[in-house]
Amino acid sequence: MLDTIESLAKEEKSFTASNTFKRKANSQTQSLYSSAKTDRLSFWDNQAQNLEWFSPYTSILEWNRPFAKWFSGGTLNASVNCLDIHLKTKAQKKAIIWEGENGDIKELSYQEVFEEVNKLADILKNKFNVKKGDRVTLYMPMIPELLYALLACSRIGAIHSVVFGGFSAQSLKDRILDSQSKMVITANGGSRRGKVLNLKNIVDEALSKNDTPVENVLIVNHLPEDTCPTQKKEYDQSYNELRKSAANYVEPEHMESEDILFILYTSGTTGKPKGIVHTTGGYLTHAKYSTKTVFDLKDDDIYWCTADIGWITGHTYMVYGPMANGATVVMYEGAPDYPEKNRFWEIIEKHNVSILYTAPTAIRAFMKWGLTHIEKHNLSSLRLLGSVGEPINPEAWEWYYNHIGSKQCPIVDTWWQTETGGIMISNIPSLNDMKPGFAGLPLPGIEAKILDKDGGEVSKGGGLLSLTEPWPSMLRGIWGDNKRYKEVYWDKFNTYFAGDGAIKDKDDYIKVLGRVDDVLNVAGHRIGTMEVESALVEFEGVAEAAVVGMPDEIKGQAIVSFVILEENFKQDDDLENKLKQFVSKQIGAIAKPKQIIFTPDLPKTRSGKIMRRILKNIAANEDTGGTSTLANPAIVKSIKEQFNKLS
Ligand code: WT7
């Protein structure tokens, strides 16, 4: 790792935001940093005061490691903080500018979104008896009704669990069962690259064995029924019908600050995905503060976060953060290359987007697609760019800066996780310079350190990233599994272990290098190697499987699987494809391996443990180092040869 640090120091470049940007920026002085340093808790107290509370909290933080309670005693409601509070001053302001993949546009004011959310809240509460604390699974395309559903759940105190629409029936079912949801909200279908994704059919498949607690499935008829045929089931309920007679107002539930707002599943190194639990007051405090601070959000901005609401980025920076600030958000249903590869730039030009928040994998795809798609559009409405999901390589950073921002827009490279709830490390461009490849400094109120494996601080150089003080939007646990919560995040160090490797430079800027565990990051999506391995071994004829990541030009990482077949299993020509399809069916297309290598054996220690490090080295085209401790050193050479033939 030391080599990397030294070579980085030589390459470091820095960029300063323009004077125009700085002059108008929300943060003009170092006061956020200095007040947070002087008294962190009173800093967070001040941020929490920007929310509307029904009753005030009596303590800021109760910390009983690893369990935090923020703003105890206070009661509030998230939907009130995202909608009701804006009605006096900006009822007619656009809340959502939605664009369907087919080009349909819907513009919805805060007043309209307020009414729709209340109607849906009324349906959930009064038609289906969804009560405070009940779980509701949302499996929907990127349509306004998804956003309504989050806020409607929060209005009545129901816990939402959004499952990304790209996940399979099995993954959906696992999440429904784990959360014990009694209700699912879906749509008949969504559009993706001109094709219909029939979500309702996938829900039917997930519920087909009748072994989940789901009583009702509320279906939004988003696509015309003839393009999206569905079978009628006894649990079906029509949103479009019920909406007609739904009430326009539902009294918001008074939620305790620590009542759960949502669960969101994410992959870990072992076992099934974990339901990350977020609560109300602390989460919303950080969502509101960080959106305003990092994106320099102002009242006249048109803000576009391109993430799907199925991921944490969509929860915090498409729904709760921007809406708590009363922003106008752009929401796009489809793919960036449909019908043409200029779709994003067309959207930006058409709606005058001023803030764009997207992922390195998308940026690298745009680079590859070339400038012609960009040059025909006027992108001068943009004033700030953001990046999230994985490390952004300096080359992609500079391309983004030069070609999308025309050297006028600062870039915020934001490091955070599903678990952190909101952005932890990012520069505030009016206050600090940007360095491509570096997320930069922890936000005011956040403390981060780089630790060695024994937990000692590495002051300059590389190590493991840890957040060293509790923060309001931190996860409160893993749904139903506090033991695992402790093990995964708190057993390694005294402080929160993020699972990422990172380095700090002479200016204390942090560069996050990526996961140090067996979690892959494919196109900004987290996938546990073990999940893919479990799926592979379920396939008939597969005896053993090992999965690692390999560097991928666009997606950051791609999945490589090494598979041992059962001895007498007859391998047909199409097995590789069948296996890929099988994984896709089991987990979702995002988990589909790029390469599958069939091998009679895997590198193992004498005690039989698979040596993943060696497989990782092979997949990354790196030296495999010493193999003499292996039980079967010869296999390394043979796997290497096979792999090299493929790539
Ligand atoms: C993991 C978290 C947070 C929203 C999207 C992903 C990686 C995320 C960055 C960044 C370097 C990053 C880390 C982290 N990551 N942002 N700016 N620079 N790495 O959320 O699915 O919970 O994944 O994504 O490895 O641990 P997630």
CA–centroid distance, 416 to ligand 1, in Å, is 5
Q: Which ligand 1 atom minimizes the distance to the CA of 413?
A: 17
Report the nearest-CA residue for atom 14 of ligand 1.
417
Q: How far is the CA of 311 from the centre of ligand 1 (A)?
A: 11
DSSP state, residue 165? T
159-168, 318-327, 331-340, 570-579 — which is least confidently predicted?
A: 570-579
Q: Is a pLDDT exceeding 70 seen at residue 3?
A: no
pLDDT of residue 601: 94
Residue 314 lies in a domain: no
> For a substitution probing ligand 1, which of 167, 277, 390, 497 has the most ligand atoms within 8 Å of its CB?
390
For 599-639, the pLDDT digits (tens) are 999 999 888 888 989 999 999 999 988 888 888 889 999 99
Counts for the chain of helices (H) and strands (E), in that order: 23, 30
Q: Which residue has the higher pLDDT, 57 or 1?
A: 57
pTM: 0.96
In a domain, 134, yes or no: no
- Rounded to an integer, the average pLDDT of 564-583 is 92
Q: What is the pLDDT of residue 9?
A: 57
Nearest alpha-carbon partner for 322 in 363, 345, 347, 293: 293
Structural domain includes residue 43? no
Residue 6 predicted with pLDDT over 90: no
What percent of the chain clears pLDDT 70, i.e. is strictly above it? Answer: 98
Say what the pLDDT of residue 11 is: 63
Region 51-61: mean pLDDT is 98
**Least-confidence region, from 3-7, 194-198, 239-243, 542-546:** 3-7
Pairing of strands 159-162, 542-552: unpaired
Tens of pLDDT, residue by residue over 513-571, are 999 998 999 999 999 999 999 999 999 999 999 999 999 999 999 999 999 999 988 88
Residues 6+ apart with CB under 8 A from 126: 247
What number is the average pLDDT over the span 473-499?
A: 97
Q: Which residues contact 643 (CB under 8 A, 6 or more apart)?
A: 560, 595, 597, 618, 619
**What is the rounded distance in angstroms from the CA atom of residue 396 to the CA atom of residue 365?**
10
Maximum distance among all alpha carbons in the chain? 73
Q: Specify the residue for token string 């339901």.
A: 275
pLDDT tier at 7 (50, 70, 90 boundaries)?
Answer: low
Q: How far is the CA of 337 from the centre of ligand 1 (A)?
A: 24
In a domain, residue 611? The reply is: yes
103 φψ region: left (φ > 0), alpha (ψ -120 to 50), beta (else) = left
400-423 average pLDDT score: 98
Q: Which atom of ligand 1 is nearest to the CA of 313?
A: 4
Do residues 295 and 289 touch, judged by C-beta distance below 8 A? no
Contact partners, residue 358, CB within 8 Å, separation at least 6: 305, 306, 307, 344, 385, 386, 387, 388
Residue 572 scores a pLDDT above 90: no
Q: Does the residue 270 lie in any domain?
A: no
Report d(CA 231, CA 383) in Å as an integer.
Answer: 47
Query: Tell me: the pLDDT tens digits for 273-282?
Result: 999 999 999 9
Residue 366 falls within a domain, yes or no?
no
What pLDDT shows up at residue 2? 44
In a domain, 230, yes or no: no
Residues 535 and 273 sit within 8 Å (Cβ to Cβ): no
Residue 583, domain CATH? 3.30.300.30
Phi, psi (rounded to 5 degrees) for 142: -80, 80
pLDDT at 1 over 60: no
Amino acid, single-letter form, for residue 242: L
Q: Is the pLDDT of residue 44 over 70?
A: yes
Q: What's the residue count for the chain?
A: 647
pLDDT range class, residue 163, cuts 50, 70, 90: very high
What's the domain range around 632? Answer: 519-646
Residues 435-456: tens digit of each pLDDT: 999 999 999 999 999 999 999 9
Q: Is residue 422 lining ligand 1, measured as CB closer than 6 Å?
A: no
At 5 the pLDDT is: 55
Percent helix, percent strand, percent coil in the chain, to nearest 5: 35, 25, 40
Confidence grade of residue 107 (pLDDT, cut at 50, 70, 90):
very high
* Contact by Cβ (8 Å): 478, 275: yes
| Predicted local confidence at residue 271, as pLDDT | 82
Pairing of strands 461-467, 448-451: antiparallel
Q: Which residues contact 134 (CB under 8 A, 6 or more apart)?
A: 158, 159, 181, 182, 183
Q: Bridge-partner residues for 449, per DSSP?
A: 466
The verdict on residue 412 lying in a domain is no
Mean pLDDT of the chain: 95
Specify the residue for token string 């820095």.
Answer: 14
Number of domains in the chain: 1
